Each structure stands twice: as C-alpha cells, then as structure tokens.
Structure 1
Amino acid sequence: MPILGLAPSSKPTYPPHFDIESVIRPNILALHPYRCARDDYQDGILLDANENALGHSIHSSSKNSSSKLNGNANIEDDAIQTPNILALDLNRYPDPAQREIKSRIAHLRGLVHSNGTPKDDHIFLGVGSDEVIDLLMRVCVAPGCERVMITPPTYGMYAVCAQVNDIEVIRVPLNADGGAFQLQLGAMKAAIDREPSIKLIFLCSPGNPTGTLIPLSDIQQLLDYTQFKGIVVVDEAYIDFSPPGSSAVSLVEKYANLCVMQTLSKSFGVAAIRLGIAIAQPPLIQILSNTKAPYNISTPTSILALSALSPPSLALMSQRISTILSSRVSLLSSLHSPGLSSLGLGEAIGGNHANFIMIPVLNRDTRKPDNVRSEKVYKELAEKEGVVVRFRGKEYGCEGCLRITVGTEEENKVLLEKLKQVLERV
C-alpha cells in the first residue's frame, strides 16, 4: 500500500533490501489524516477554525515578576503579564508538574477542598486536547481487540486517533432530526450490550460541528449504565460559550468513570500555545501523568497559560465572551434575513451554544440542502472574496452546511456582504 501524499518518485530505493511500506503499520498506511482548517487557506478573513476572533485575553497592563522569568515559581496573582519569551531560562527543561497552572484551573472550575485549597490532583495538562485523546486511547484501549464509541457528527480526531492506535470505532449517530443533534441513548446502550469491549465513549458538548449541548442528565445515564465498564469522555472545548451550569465538571467528584476535556484555545483565545486539559478523579489523572512525555508543556506555554489564567485576564476573557455571544445573536439574525433566505440560505441547525454557527446552503429550486452548491460557495468565498468559512456538508446530518465562526463586528459585516454576493452568482 503506498504512503498517502507521497509521490511515487519519492519512495526510497537504498538500501535495496529496505521497504518503508513493510515497516509502517498497515492501519497507519491506510490513514486519511485529519484535515485542519489551515490546510486549505491561510489568508483572508479567517472564520473557519473557531478561533477567538477578538484575540487573546492576556491583560496587557499587569506586570510579570522577574523572579519567574529567571526560573522562580513564585507568581503574583494580581501582577501577571505576557513575558519577554527570550528572557526566560530556555536552556532549562520546563516544570514537568505545572502545579500552579493546575491549581488555577481547579479554582476556576470549582474543584476545591473544604478549606479552599485547589484539587490540582484532578487536573492533567496536555499539548492540546489531541494529546489527551491519544493518551486516553493508548492507556485504556487494547489495539486490535477493544473499541471506542463516537457519536457522529463529531470532532474528527477521535476517529483519526483510533485508527492510528489500531482501534475499531463504533459509531452511533446523534439524532439529527430537526437539527436536534442529541444522543440516541437507547441505541448507545444497545451497542454497549453487543460490544462489551467498548472502553471509551467520546461525547462532544457543545458539539463540533453542531454547537449543541448534551444535557448532563443524558451523560449521567451513560455513567450509571451498569453494562458499560469503561470511561465516558466529554469534550468541552466550547463550554464557556454555553449557559452557566452546563459543564460536566460538576459530575467529576461523583463519577470515577468520567473524564472532561477542556482547552485554552477557544474562550481564552490562546490556541497558539496548545494547552489541553483533562479533568477527572485522581486515579485516571495519575495514569495519564505516568504515561505522558516527561516535559510535554513547554516553559513559554506555561508562562502564557499562567498569564491567561490571572485575574485581570479572566476578567477580560469574560468581557470578550459576552461580546462574542452578543455577536452570535446578531449574526444569526442577519443570516436568517429575507435577503439571504431568498438566495438559498437556510435556517441555522444545531444548538448554537458555541462560538460558531452551522447553516445550510440550499438548492434555489428545490429549497433542499445542496452539497454541490455549498462547496462552491465555500470555495468562492475563500478564493475570490478572501472570507474563509468551513464546508461541513459531508458530515452526518449536516448536508449542505457551512460552519461559520463568529468574527469581529467588522469581519461579520464583510462576511454577510460577500456571502450575499457569492450566493447571487453561484
């Protein structure tokens, strides 16, 4: 089997007894890699990757202690600022424990002891949530004989990581009727009964690409289901854009079979530093800590994460979340306007609980979702108008859909203008 993406002329020929394709695991050779938003377009008004369009929330008026820049772990909570990265002790390995970051996250998410001290033993840090996903599979699921469950449409890296690890994926689609995108609990339990080797269930809440919250009561039904002996993993990358009380972190203290993933990439606006979070009871956290690379969180990442988790930065983050939520309402209203509807733009689907919107492009004659037209609109927007959204029409229940990140006020204005022009001519 050839190596995907490698030109035949690039295949090594020396030494003659060596065949790279016989060395690589067959499931890796067959793998179609996860395509990220930047694979297609890198320039323009970028509304395709669900980044925080308002920028990072690291407060610019506070100061960083010089002792920290020289390797001292003391941090003044009210005096955190973006450091001069080149002033750090970059010749030294980073702190492998990162307890200060974990403590701040525990405080932020309400995981504290009765005396007010944070439960940092409930927090694991990874190089983005993708490292957490991969580690969970590697430590929990035996390749070739055990399985994971996902609920399409969902985040693509669950399936990619499973294939990399030679793990079969059981798919139980969400109920997409009317754009609901909720769990089919009966079907999930039936699949568990048929396949007792399922070790992990991955739930995305709010969903990507659906933007739909999963009720905590539904998550509890899976956690309480006695036939399921594995771990429910709830991916909450977009949870801060949802109503208060939506997070499954509130269930962690009770359920040892629950792992909640979060990130600093979305609401915190620091996607570039790649910091993912797992929140669970200490036994699972310890297993993950025992398995990770020794210094997986770099010193520049940790310093910027501490800055993002400082009180002034959290206040700024809260303000920007409010702005994004308000912009989400305005953008939805504009996308539903008669002018765009008459050009074949449908009603948004999903729950609209994240910082993006899923909206179908319709065939102008049949008024039904149209993948061909939607993909043309996507490409025209990017290549001729400089506005980059994400085509998601090939995902289950998302026919004809474009996923549009909520941008700045000016970006949203340009989007609406250019989208109208493209819909008129496509």
Structure 2
Amino acid sequence: MTIPGISETAAAHTASLKPPHFVLEDIVRPNILSLQPYRCARDDYQEGILLDANENSLGHALPSGSSALPLNGHENIKGGNDAAAAQDAVAGPSDPLDLHRYPDPSLFGIKSTLAKHRNLPGDEHVFLGVGSDEVIDLIQRVVCTPGKDAIAVCPPTYGMYSVCAAVNDVGVVKVPLRVDDGDFSLDVDALLSTLRSTPNIKIIYLCSPGNPTGTLLDLRDVRRILDEPTYKGLVVVDEAYIDFAEEEIRLGRRDKAQQVSAVPLLAEYKNLVVSQTLSKAYGLAGIRMGIAYSSPALIQIMNNAKAPYNVPQPTAHLASLALSPAGVDRARLHIKQLLDNRDELLAALLPIPGVGDVMGGNDANFLLVQILDAPKTQGGKPDSARAGRVYKRMAEERGLVVRNRSSDLGCAGCLRITVGTQIENRRCVELIGEMLRAEGIGA
C-alpha cells in the first residue's frame, strides 16, 4: 500500500534499507496507514493577503510596549508588508513572527539544518515534535493497537515510555538492564528471548545515555536487536543526552573512533527511530522541541498523523537561532563547561563520608550518587530511606532540589544530581555533607 504523501524517491530509499524481515506497512495500524492527512492552510501558500485560515487579521493581543520576541537580526523574517504596518498601528507592539498567523510548515529550515547536522540525506528523514514526549507518544499511536499490542522497556529508564503506553492502552513488557555491577548495560540475550516469545511487542525503547543511569548503550547491542529476524517491530533509541558524549569525542576525552549516536545506523536500517531534543545540550527546555530521525516512510506516516501546526512559531524561530553556526558554537562551549563541572562535582562528592559510588557511565549532564548507611570505608550500604531524608531536607529546608531515584531498579539509595554551575555544585556538595553529618555520618 502506498503511504499518502510519500514521494517515489523516498519510498524507494526506504525499500532499499535492511533488515529484509521488517515491513513497515505490516506493523503500522491499518487506519493510520490509509490516513489522508489534514491539509493546513499554510501548506499551500505562506505569503500575500491571507484570508484562508480564519486567523485574526488585526494581529495579536499583546499589550502595547511588549515585544513579540527580540530576534537578534532576524526582525524581517517574512519581509515587510502593508498588513504588518497596519497591524502595528492597531496593536502597538511589533509582530516580526506574525504570531497572528499559523506557522509556516517549513519552520525556518530547521529540518534541513538538522539533517545536515546529522549527516542525513535530507529533511524527509526528520520529524519535529513538541518535545521528545510527542515523539514517544506518536510512535505508539501509529504502531500499537490499543488493548492488543505492547512495548518493551529496559528499567531503570525514562518513565514516559510507560506513561504513554498507559494512556494509549498498550501493554508494557520490562526487560531490566544489568544492574548487579552498576554499569546498567543491556541484557541483550534476555531482551531477544523476550522478543521471540512475545510477538505482540511492536516497539522497543532504549535510552542512551540512560535516564537515570547516565550510561551509553553499546551500538553493537543495538545492531543485534535491529537484525533479530523474529522481531518485526521498531527500535527507538532515545538520545536526549547524546550531545554530551559527542562533545567528549570532539574534545579528545573519548576514542575518536568510537561511535556513540545511533543516527548513522539509519543509513542501513529502516526499523530504527532515533529521538533527540534541544532541551538538554542546547538549554532550550522551555521551548519544547523534540526531534525524530528515521526512514522517510515512517517520518511521512508520523507527519500524516500528527496534529496540524504542532510546533509553534516562537519555538521554531528560537530553535533556528540555536541551530545556527553561532548557536551551535555557544552550545558546545556550554557543554564543555558542564563536562568540566561534572568532573569537579564528582571529585568533590566522593570523599564525603556517607556518599558511596557514582553509578552508571556518567555520560550525560547528571550524576547518580549513592547515599549510604555508614561511611564507605566502614562498609556502608546503600540506604534509600536516608537518601529520601537527605533529598527532602535539602529541598524544603535549604532550597536545593535534586531527584530521589532510590526506588528505581538497581538504584537503591541513589540521588540523581544535575550538573549545575560551579557555585551551585559547591552548594550541593556542602549541603549533602551537612545533611549526612546531621544523620550521624562523618560528624
């Protein structure tokens, strides 16, 4: 069956990819596969006197004297016109983003920029969503039949995979990471065994670097799953934190031959989706920009099924600035500083009596730190109750908030600490020491 909207070239490219046992049309829900997408007004025309979309022709309602985003030299994105001048006269503040208009689907060239940034052939490999959570949810909605199909997750992992499954009435099969040695690697044999015995699993979510583990997955393991002939579903690799590991390679802190992102595997595999975000390395959590990279066929299906105008104009514009050469340079400077801060934070935490191991691979912008029932030199063991008290007292009495992950599989006694500024990190170290001394450790 032909996917509505896909070009012959894109369809042929998808068909040329492996593995031969994977047929996208066989796993996408039939009603989604045949869906005729909603055609937006801005799909056809973006300029001129636009009386086609029932927009407010008088402009936005922002109060006079306010600003619709300072644009740093991008003030005339769509060109001046009499309508804009008339709007200014009525509404007061300027509207360089045309906020009273629905967004242009081209979205400031973001898809093409991202494709080039990731060495992909073109923007037909790129989907944009409202944060990675829209990507996670939408893939389930186009593939999984409610009340029948299931996803697989590898705990400890990001909780939204299971939340979306609950919302969509999709089952969740858990295949834990190897937690005994604290490295949180994939148990590939157990995962493949589960896939062979559970044919209704349509999606596997793999988090790399993991949350809350901070551990990069071995791409050889990912390949084994992609190549498994009995598994007919999708493999989704969630790479929200991948920029930190990639920057370590650029800085010479990792083997330059090491491949950390799964994106290059898209040149071979059509059963792979890689999700990323601008929330972490680019510091744009507030704009909610999520990205999915995959075969053109699956990207077309996701575009057919998404809500119209799902990415707001201000979000798209700010993302385009961050992805400009100057924005990428700034992001890399910030990443380098965070990596340095992470090293300093790690070095400062470990000598504190009552702090145990820093778990996982430390490949992201956070640390997963054990809180013990006694100093490590005295054989202290992870203490989840104490970790909870330290977490709660720091937040409520000292105004410093970390994340209590002690109830997660393999994370007994663990607090997840986001790497902050040097001042914030020093305050965190000081307070953890203070809280543990109040618990009678190291006093």
Q: 1:271 to 1:85 in 2, by over 3 A?
A: farther
Report the Cα offset of residue 171 of structure 1: 0.2
Whether 1:383 aligns to 2:396 is yes
What letter matches 1:195 in structure 2? Answer: T
Whole-angstrom distance in 2 between the partners of 1:352 and 1:67: 41
Q: Deviations over 1:273-318 (max 9, x none)?
A: 0000000010000000000001000001011010111111110111
Equivalent residues in 2 for 1:39-54, closer than 5 Å: none
Partner residue in 2 for 1:188: 191
Unaligned runs of 5+ in 2: 1-69, 82-92, 250-258
Report the Cα offset of residue 97 of structure 1: 4.2
Q: Deviations over 1:217-257 (max 9, x none)?
A: 11000000001100000000000011443000010111000
Unaligned runs of 5+ in 1: 1-59, 72-83, 113-118
Whole-angstrom distance in 2 between the partners of 1:264 and 1:203: 19
Any conservation in 2 of the 1:85–1:300 contact (CA below 8 Å)?
A: no
Any conservation in 2 of the 1:204–1:235 contact (CA below 8 Å)?
A: yes
Q: Deviations over 1:356-404 (max 9, x none)?
A: 0000101127611111100000001111111110000011100110000
Whole-angstrom distance in 2 between the partners of 1:350 and 1:69: 51
Partner residue in 2 for 1:31: none
Whether 1:401 aligns to 2:410 is no
Whether 1:277 aligns to 2:291 is yes
Whole-angstrom distance in 2 between the partners of 1:158 and 1:361: 28
Whether 1:206 aligns to 2:209 is yes
Whole-angstrom distance in 2 between the partners of 1:96 and 1:162: 29
Whole-angstrom distance in 2 between the partners of 1:103 and 1:413: 41
Q: 1:363 to 1:195 in 2, by over 3 A?
A: same
- TM-score w.r.t. length of structure 1: 0.79
What letter matches 1:63 in structure 2? Answer: G
Whole-angstrom distance in 2 between the partners of 1:86 and 1:215: 48
Equivalent residues in 2 for 1:82-97, closer than 5 Å: 86-97=95-106
Any conservation in 2 of the 1:104–1:309 contact (CA below 8 Å)?
A: yes
Any conservation in 1 of the 2:405–2:415 contact (CA below 8 Å)?
A: yes
Whole-angstrom distance in 2 between the partners of 1:399 and 1:97: 47
Any conservation in 1 of the 2:108–2:320 contact (CA below 8 Å)?
A: no
Q: 1:384 to 1:97 in 2, by over 3 A?
A: same
> 366-375 vs 287-296, which deviates more?
366-375
Whether 1:106 aligns to 2:115 is yes
Whether 1:141 aligns to 2:144 is yes
Q: Deviations over 1:179-204 (max 9, x none)?
A: 11011111111111110111000000
Secondary structure of residue in 2 paired with 1:177: coil
Secondary structure of residue in 2 paired with 1:388: coil
Whether 1:233 aligns to 2:236 is yes
Secondary structure of residue in 1 paired with 2:163: helix
> How many residues are paired up?
345
Superposed structure 1 runs of 4+ greater than 4 Å apart: none
Report the Cα offset of residue 270 of structure 1: 0.5
Any conservation in 1 of the 2:118–2:263 contact (CA below 8 Å)?
A: yes
What letter matches 2:98 in structure 1? Answer: D
Whether 1:286 aligns to 2:289 is no
Secondary structure of residue in 2 paired with 1:261: strand
Secondary structure of residue in 1 paired with 2:433: helix
Report the Cα offset of residue 70 of structure 1: 5.8
Report the Cα offset of residue 96 of structure 1: 2.8
- TM-score w.r.t. length of structure 2: 0.76
Any conservation in 2 of the 1:369–1:400 contact (CA below 8 Å)?
A: yes
Question: Which among 362, 365, 374 is matched to residue 364 of structure 1?
Answer: 374
Whole-angstrom distance in 2 between the partners of 1:238 and 1:377: 26
Larger radius of gyration: 2
Partner residue in 2 for 1:19: none
Any conservation in 2 of the 1:267–1:321 contact (CA below 8 Å)?
A: yes
Partner residue in 1 for 2:267: 253
Partner residue in 1 for 2:177: 174
Secondary structure of residue in 1 paired with 2:276: strand
Any conservation in 2 of the 1:96–1:294 contact (CA below 8 Å)?
A: no
> 163-172 vs 237-246, which deviates more?
237-246
Secondary structure of residue in 1 paired with 2:211: coil
Report the Cα offset of residue 99 of structure 1: 6.5
Whole-angstrom distance in 1 between the partners of 2:283 and 2:405: 23
Whole-angstrom distance in 2 between the partners of 1:69 and 1:293: 28
Report the Cα offset of residue 87 of structure 1: 3.6
Any conservation in 2 of the 1:96–1:296 contact (CA below 8 Å)?
A: no
Secondary structure of residue in 2 paired with 1:269: coil
Any conservation in 1 of the 2:111–2:123 contact (CA below 8 Å)?
A: yes
What letter matches 1:285 in structure 2? Answer: I
Report the Cα offset of residue 67 of structure 1: 3.3
What letter matches 2:277 in structure 1? Answer: T
Report the Cα offset of residue 413 of structure 1: 1.1
> 367-376 vs 413-422, which deviates more?
413-422
Q: 1:190 to 1:412 in 2, by over 3 A?
A: same
Q: 1:62 to 1:143 in 2, by over 3 A?
A: same
What letter matches 2:402 in structure 1? Answer: V
